[in-house]
Amino acid sequence: MDYQLTLNWPDFIERYWQKRPVVLKRGFANFIDPLSPDELAGLAMESEVDSRLVSHQDGKWQVSHGPFESYDHLSENNWSLLVQAVNHWHEPSAALMHPFRALPDWRIDDLMISFSVPGGGVGRIWISMMCLSFRAPVVGAGALGKRCR
pLDDT in tens, 56-107: 989 899 999 999 999 999 999 999 999 999 999 999 999 999 998 888 888 8
| φ, ψ (nearest 5 deg) of residue 92 | -60, -35
Task: Output the pLDDT for position 40.
Answer: 95
Q: What is the reported pTM? A: 0.82
| Domain 4-116 bears CATH identifier 2.60.120.650 | yes
Task: Output the pLDDT for position 148.
Answer: 41
**C-alpha atoms less than 13 angstroms from C-alpha of 32 in its C-beta half-sphere:** 6
Neighbours of 88 (CB within 10 A): 14
What is the sign, positive or negative, of the torsion defined by CA atoms of 30, 142, 52, 80?
A: positive
Between these two residues, 29 and 64, which has the higher pLDDT value? Answer: 64
Between these two residues, 126 and 147, which has the higher pLDDT value? Answer: 126
Arithmetic mean of pLDDT, 108-135 = 77
Q: Are 43 and 90 in contact (CB under 8 A)?
A: yes
